[in-house]
Chains A and B, each alone.
Chain A
Amino acid sequence: MIRRVKQFLDSQNPMLIVGVLLTTLVAIAAIFAPYLAPYDPVEDANLMNSLRPPGEDFLLGTDRQGRDILSRLIFGTRIALLVGIVSQGLNTLIGVLLGASAGLFGGKVDDSIMAFTNMVLSIPPLILALAIMTVLGPGLINILIALGFTQWTYTCRICRAQILSVKEQDFVEAADALGASRFRIALKHILPHVFGPVFVIASLGVGAAILLEASLSFLGVGTQPPTPSWGTMLSSGRTYIWTAPWITISPGVAIMITVLGVNLIGDGLRDKLDPRVKRELDLSD
């Protein structure tokens, strides 16, 4: 058994293992947050404890309202993962639907979908998200919408490119010759080839979404206080950077660990894919 595990580990990319470990750590923090956090992230505010440096009672110090930063960080994993997973889930769904329609139907459908995709793609995510947040106003749900409906372009393009190349393969022709319906061919013979690259894009996108949420919250148009979002914590710490730098340091480290974890998973999985798909993915970031 142990030898098996060791063999499995040796056969894997070490970066991938580190990524899985980091992500598991974050996921555990998110699931068991109420048991791990020493204080309540929102309710335990006491101005008597305002701006305490890291010490015995508060491992990472407190913020201006006297809330424990460690507890807020631990609960922040929930917000980060929620934003990353929900928005990326939406993006993947939209991207696969549009990309698959473009690739499978071809012709006018393909042209119009790709024209729209390239248009959305040409605007940097931050500007697009800012424009949407202006319209919707700040808040967690609005962040999910702003990020969930804007980052699907790479998924769409990869999905379409994969389908176009698989469509020409012999086994598709064979299935067609055997009398399989078009629907069956699309579902059973073509679409399974799409999932690998789409998963890679999605896992890289989770990291990007977490960073974008933090950026928007930092700019003041994202998640609003007192929600324990890392971006909001950084934003409120900015004022006290000269006197209480600990408010700012730890949320940044938390973001780094989380994003690094999912990015390493994405990178590791990308390296496992075949080189042709890999090149296409490489250009995507």
Chain B
Amino acid sequence: MPTVVFILTVMFFLLSILPGDAALLAGDPKLAKNPEAMAQIRAKWGLDDPIPLRYLKYMANLLQGDLGTSYRTRQEVGNLILKKLWPTLSLAGLAYLIATPLGLLMGFVSALNRGSWLDFGALSLAIFGVSVPRFWVGLMLMYLFAVLFNGALPSSGFGSVANYVLPCLTLGYPLIALLARTTRSSALEVMEEDYVQTARAKGAPEWRVNLNHVFRNSLMPIITVAGLQLGTLIANTVIVEKIFSWPGLGNLVINSILRRDIPAVQGCILVFTLSIVLINTGVDVFYAYLDPRIRYD
């Protein structure tokens, strides 16, 4: 929670001392030469108040669930965001649900076949995954499917299941790569442990050693990484939404930044940080639940 308040406070003050007349942004540009109209606009948006007072007002409104009014569309920022929330969350959630098991599987299989061509292939894919810009992969997928496969999958728009395929792939592949890498190194480490040797010595079948002893124990460090990545995934929807013209929060925040619609930008950043902080807290709690050795005071 302090994180959210900190980000909001810093952003509020920096955006307030920014050069440029906010009344110009809030009002009709045609009124710029009419001082009377400008004064009216300032009074209406509370831009005349000293900055600390505006900050207190903003925070007080926030506590009541009021995120302010957008300069651009004159709509409540809260409503604006609510409308965009589902596309973004469903996209991030779906990508996450698909990428996580795939990454785990890839990493575990390559750890079991260490040094083989399979391992090498998975490792190269993982390195590739962290070195290639996501938006470039998105654009290339778009081009491939639209031009070479004659529009087998839609490259923009929202609504049907087919619309989800390319954005999900673009959003999720770096996570697969990262999880594969983490799982592989974690599993390799666990394989050296004494209890794995013991399990094998007492004659447990190989699949059982791998599944019950190696896999389960190598999961712990992965959960931290996987949990934190959900936050990163939500943040990266910004890029994916821009590529595929996805009607979500990411597009809203970019358009608001480009048009300097400050209340909307603040609202979006608030929602992004809030969801990420909530996820991180959730991960910590889940982790303590899984590993009784860890207890937070």
List chain A positions with a Cβ less than 8 A from chain B: 119, 122-127, 130-131, 133-135, 207, 211, 214-215, 218-221, 231, 234, 237-238, 241-242, 245, 248-249, 251-252, 255-256, 259-260, 263-264, 267, 282-283, 285
Residues of A within 8 A of B18 (CB): 135
Chain B residues, Cβ within 8 Å of A125: 235
Does residue B231 face the partner (Cβ distance < 8 Å to A)?
A: yes
A residues less than 8 Å from B140 (CB atoms): 248-249, 252
CA distance A259 to B3 in the complex (A): 31
Type the 1/0 row for B221-246, where 1 means its CB is closer than 8 Å to any CB of A.
10011000001101110110011000
- A278 and chain B: residue at smallest CB distance: B185
**Which residues from chain B contact A214 at a C-beta distance below 8 Å?**
133, 135
Most buried by B among A134, A215, A221, A249: A134
Bound-complex Cα distance A285 to B232 (A): 11
Which of B234, B236, B257 neighbours the largest number of chain A CB atoms within 10 Å of its CB? B257
Q: How far is the CA of A238 from the CA of B140 in the complex (A)?
A: 10
CB distance from B205 to the nearest CB of A (A): 30
Given known contacts A124-B276, A135-B15, A219-B242, is B225 in contact with A283 (CB within 8 Å)? yes
Given contacts A237-B139, A252-B137, A283-B225, 20 further A-B contacts (CB under 8 A): A122-B231, A122-B276, A127-B235, A130-B269, A131-B11, A131-B269, A133-B257, A134-B15, A135-B15, A219-B238, A219-B254, A242-B146, A245-B143, A248-B139, A248-B143, A256-B128, A259-B133, A260-B128, A263-B131, A264-B127
Do A130 and B253 form a contact, CB below 8 Å, given A211-B133, A219-B238? yes
Bound together, the chains give a CA A249 to CA B127 distance in angstroms of: 20
A285 touches B136 (CB 8 A): no
Selected contact of B135 from candidates A134, A218, A282, A285, CB within 8 Å: A218
Inter-chain CA distance A221–B265, complex, in Å, is 13
Number of contacting residues on B, CB 8 A?
Answer: 50
Main secondary structure of the interface of B (DSSP, over half): helix
- State whether the Cβ of B2 lies closer than 8 Å to any Cβ in chain A: yes
Task: Return the chain B residue nearest A235 by Cβ.
Answer: B135
Alpha-carbon distance between A214 and B134 when the two chains are bound, in angstroms: 10
Across the interface, which residues of B come within 8 angstroms of A285, CB to CB? 130, 178
Q: Are B133 and A124 in contact (CB under 8 A)?
A: no
Chain B positions near chain A (C-beta within 8 angstroms): 2-3, 6-7, 11, 14-15, 18, 127-128, 130-137, 139-140, 142-143, 146-147, 178, 182, 185, 221, 224-225, 231-232, 234-236, 238-239, 242-243, 253-254, 257-258, 265, 269, 272-273, 276-277, 280
Q: Given known contacts A123-B3, A123-B7, A134-B265, is B132 in contact with A252 (CB within 8 Å)?
A: yes
Do B131 and A215 touch (CB < 8 A)? no
Residue of A nearest to B11 (CB): A131
Given A135-B18, A218-B239, A220-B258, the answer on whether A234 and B136 have CB atoms closer than 8 Å is yes
Given contacts A131-B7, A252-B132, contact A124 B232 (CB under 8 A): yes
Q: Are B131 and A260 interface neighbours, CB within 8 A?
A: yes
Chain A contacts of B254 at CB under 8 A?
A: 219-221
The listed residue with most B CB atoms (<10 A of its CB), out of A124, A133, A218, A220, is: A124
**Chain A residues, CB < 8 A from B265:** 134
CA–CA, A131 and B235, complex, Å: 12
Min distance, Cβ A212 to any Cβ of chain B, angstroms: 10
Residues of B within 8 A of A126 (CB): 232, 235-236, 238-239
B273-A127 in contact (CB<8A): yes
- Given A130-B238, A134-B257, A219-B254, A238–B243 Cβ distance below 8 Å? yes
Q: A119, B11: Cβ atoms under 8 Å?
A: no
A173 to B236, CA, bound (A): 47
Expressed in whole angstroms, the Cα–Cα distance for A135 and B128 within the complex equals 33
Q: Which residues of B contact A127 (CB under 8 A)?
A: 235, 238, 269, 272-273, 276
